[in-house]
């Protein structure tokens, strides 16, 4: 059950909580609206590539809906999906490393606000609320990356997969009529493997094992259902952190909160 799982989350240290203590005056959505007034809204399709420069200058993006992926390809064919960006996330081209074949693309259809970085930077300077929004987005993304780093660096195959599935389930899962959490799996096997630092074959095997164990089911491609989130959480050492990151709020509420514009 989603709702009960949140109860088990222990209160993290106050300082490590990414959410700001300052209370905003404006209703939610206003910041995004104000940002949108100064940006081009780009509608992206799955797989669509997003240019990192914009009319010769550095581009920046705020994800409004959908998800993006940043990957690098190093000489020798080493490919790594470095980060995933979700609604509310902020990305500027300078986040991508130089000389690394960096590439930003959509993994699911959605809307992205596109800026010149200089423009977004000015907005940040002129509007404290926008500044807070961006600062918090960056902090949230960074702490997510830290967990992911630990997963890729230290977990075995099954733990990595469980970590990723749990993130997905908590972020975008909705309660299925038959019980459990249903969610989209925007990445294909190769991208998912490259995100988790695994071989695609190994990943496939691991998913099969999870399916065989009854934890996971796969009604169709790009879609999954988790029967028992707690059982999944038991498979990853990062469960606590993921719960803390993806919040106390039930997955459905989160979904609405983040996906509305």
Which residue ranges make up the site for DNA (CB under 7 A)? 156-158, 188-190, 197-202, 204-205, 207-208, 218, 221
CA dihedral 118, 124, 126, 128 (to 10 degrees): 180
* Smaller CB separation from DNA, 118 or 199: 199
Closest approach of DNA to the CB of residue 148, in Å: 16
* Smaller CB separation from DNA, 2 or 193: 193
Closest approach of DNA to the CB of residue 221, in Å: 6
189 binds, among DNA, its own copies, none (CB under 5 to 8 A by kind): DNA
Closest approach of its own copies to the CB of residue 97, in Å: 4
Closest approach of DNA to the CB of residue 23, in Å: 39
95 binds, among its own copies, DNA, none (CB under 5 to 8 A by kind): its own copies
7 binds, among DNA, its own copies, none (CB under 5 to 8 A by kind): none
DSSP per-residue letters across 85-124: E-TT-EEEGGGSPTTS--EEEEEE-EEEEEEEHHHHHHHH
**How far is it between the farthest Cα atoms of the chain?**
55
- Nearest alpha carbon to residue 69 among 99, 47, 100, 98: 47
* Smaller CB separation from its own copies, 139 or 176: 139
Residue 217 DSSP class = E
What token pair was written down for 47?
A: 């797989």
* Smaller CB separation from DNA, 53 or 208: 208
* Smaller CB separation from DNA, 222 or 255: 222
156 binds, among DNA, its own copies, none (CB under 5 to 8 A by kind): DNA
| Strands 67-74 and 78-85, sheet pairing | antiparallel
Closest approach of its own copies to the CB of residue 222, in Å: 23
**Residues 200/189, Cβ–Cβ less than 8 Å:** yes
DSSP per-residue letters across 231-255: HHHTT-TTHHHHHHHH-SS-HHHHH
């Amino acid at each position: 059950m989603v709702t009960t799982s949140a109860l088990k989350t222990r209160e993290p240290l106050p300082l490590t909580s990414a959410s700001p203590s300052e209370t905003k005056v404006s209703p939610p959505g206003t910041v995004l609206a104000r940002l949108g007034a100064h940006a081009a809204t780009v509608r992206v399709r799955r797989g669509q590539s997003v240019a990192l420069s914009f009319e010769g200058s550095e581009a920046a993006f705020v994800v409004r809906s959908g998800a993006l992926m940043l990957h690098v390809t190093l000489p020798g064919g080493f490919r790594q999906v470095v980060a995933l960006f979700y609604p509310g996330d902020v990305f500027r081209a300078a986040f991508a490393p130089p000389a690394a074949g960096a590439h930003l693309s959509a993994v699911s259809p959605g809307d992205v606000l596109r800026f010149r970085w200089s423009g977004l930077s000015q907005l940040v300077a002129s509007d404290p609320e926008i500044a807070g929004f961006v600062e918090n987005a960056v902090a949230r993304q960074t702490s997510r990356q830290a967990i992911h780093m630990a997963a890729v660096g230290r977990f075995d195959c099954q733990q990595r997969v469980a970590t990723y599935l749990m993130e997905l389930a908590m972020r975008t899962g909705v309660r299925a009529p038959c019980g459990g959490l249903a969610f989209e799996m925007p990445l294909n096997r190769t991208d998912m493997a490259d995100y988790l630092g695994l071989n695609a074959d190994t990943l496939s095997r691991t998913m099969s094992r999870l399916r065989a164990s009854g934890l996971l089911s796969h009604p169709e491609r790009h879609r999954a259902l988790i029967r028992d989130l707690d059982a999944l959480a038991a498979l990853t050492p990062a469960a606590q952190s993921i719960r803390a990151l993806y919040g106390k709020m039930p997955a459905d509420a989160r979904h609405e909160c983040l996906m509305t514009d």
